[in-house]
Amino acid sequence: MDNRRILISGAGVAGPALAHWLTRHGFEATVVERAPGPRPGGHPVDVRGPALEVAGRMGILDELRRRRTDMRGMSVVDADGTELYRSTEHTISGGDLDSPDVEILRDDLCAVIASVTEGTEYLYDDSIAGMTQDGAGVRVTFERSAPRTFDLVVGADGLHSTVRRLAFGPEADFIHHLGTYLGVFTTPNFLGLDRWQVWHRGETGGGCVMTARDNTELRVYAGFESAEPVAYDHRDTAAHKRLITERLAGTGWEFPRALEYMAGAEDFHFDAMAQIRMDRWSDGRVTLLGDAGYCGSPLSGQGTSMAMVGAYVLAGELKAAGGDHHRAFAAYEAELRDYVAANQELALTNRERMETEGAVPDVAEVVEALKLKDY
């Protein structure tokens, strides 16, 4: 088999999922991750449609279901806490409660996927600094580790992908902002909620609190809208917290208390609601996976599913091509392009529905839009 040694940048959902399938197909996977270890926290994510089948083939679906958020319902309140709407049939974050979809905390999903990556080499607290490719491989320099040569490199390093920047050019060429910024962090369950979500939207911003970890915690979504992109360093957590505090000043209900907890939250995440749109996902021996190549934004409700499905297809096409990356990368794109396009369009549709109708996001039209091959 050709091109056995594969470097993956990013240890979130997509990278370890790809490592699992590559190892299973006889390749050697190395994952490099900037963080010092698995990242804690993060918003709940959804495993839907073909991603459920991927999880089943990985042997992790039962464990995902065991760890699901298991919400009873949701409510919407005004600034004084008066309930305006209540449902025990669906939630905004997870959709219909009687669906087969699995809503799970992002860090739980990552832990479950990582548990089935035996044989994978992890390089934590490091990042790719440079890449030079030729007919024999990709020479990679790292911020900390010694340079190494790999046969292929996969960028699974998210919206602000280093691999994409090095191989394809600046982020500004590919990012499309959707006008919303979101912070997510953990607090104690200071509201005493029981498997419940509460949403509030004020004049300057708002979001949601929802229970986690058997009601011992709340995961807080705190967001605001901005018609123009906001300039910030995406690695400066202190600046992100200041920005959320400033933009949500005056927001009602219990958000002032939640923001007090935010100051000390060690698992705080912040980023733009944005999409990555590219004419191609591969350049020579380098390709992109998940948010790095085709981020749909959380508004799609499909980012995690696209990452898991993409990992399955990319590894499968490499196996089918005997490691021939030219054939495999072309087949990977051909297989996923329509699925990705439908999910990215869904994010725009969901945004419009939520703004005009206050409606729950809809994913029904696209979750079954791809029939998985057997590799």
Q: Is 96 inside any structural domain?
A: no
Residues 14, 301, 312, CA angle at the centre, nearest 5°? 30
In a domain, 263, yes or no: yes
The verdict on 169 and 188 lying in the same domain is no
Domain membership flag for residue 375: no
Q: Does 59 map to a domain?
A: yes
Question: How large is the average pLDDT for residues 261-273?
Answer: 94
- Verify that 228 and 141 share a domain, yes or no: no
User: C-alpha angle with apex 108: 107 to 109, nearest 5 degrees?
Assistant: 90
Find the mean pLDDT for residues 45-66: 96
> For the domain that residue 134 is a member of, what is the CATH number?
3.50.50.60
Query: Which residues lie below 8 Å from residue 161, measured CB to CB, with a gap of 6+?
Result: 9, 10, 155, 171, 276, 288, 291, 292, 293
Domain contains 83:
no
Q: Decide: 92 and 58 in contact? Cβ < 8 Å.
A: no
Please indicate, yes or no, if residue 29 is contained in any of the structural domains: yes
> What is the predicted pLDDT for the residue at 369?
62
Answer yes or no: is pLDDT of 96 > 90. Answer: no
Instruction: Please give the mean pLDDT across all residues of the chain.
Output: 93
Indicate the residue among 274, 305, 322 that finishes a domain. 274
Each residue's pLDDT tens digit, 219-247:
999 999 998 888 888 889 999 999 999 99
Average pLDDT (12-39) is: 97
Residues 296 and 163 in one domain: yes
Based on the fold, state whether residues 298 and 163 are members of the same structural domain. Answer: yes
- Centre a 10 Å sphere on the Cβ of residue 133 and count the other Cβ atoms it contains: 19
Q: Which of 238, 248, 175 is nearest to 207 (CA)?
A: 248
Please tell me whether residues 38 and 114 are part of one structural domain.
Answer: yes
- Residue 336 corresponds to which tokens in the numbers above? 């996923």
Residues 178-214 have pLDDT tens digits of: 999 999 999 999 999 999 999 999 888 899 999 999 9
Is residue 95 over pLDDT 60? yes
Of the two residues 83 and 371, the one the predictor is more confident about is 83
**Do 31 and 108 fall within a single domain?**
yes
274, 289, 316 - which closes a domain: 274
Last residue of a domain, one of 274, 307, 339: 274
Same domain, 22 and 142: yes
- Domain total of the chain: 2
Together in a domain, 132 and 38: yes
Report percent pLDDT > 90 for the chain. 81
Examine the domain organization and report whether 243 and 296 are in the same domain: no
pLDDT attached to residue 352: 61
- Rounded CA separation 49/112 (Å): 19
Q: Do residue 133 and residue 13 come from a single domain?
A: yes
pLDDT at residue 363 above 80? no
Q: Which domain holds residue 262?
A: 178-274
8 or 363: which carries more pLDDT confidence?
8
Q: What percent of the chain has pLDDT over 70?
A: 95
Q: What is the pLDDT of residues 109-128, one digit of tens each?
A: 999 999 999 999 999 999 99
pLDDT in tens, 340-359: 998 898 888 766 655 554 55
Kindly report the pTM of this predicted structure.
0.94
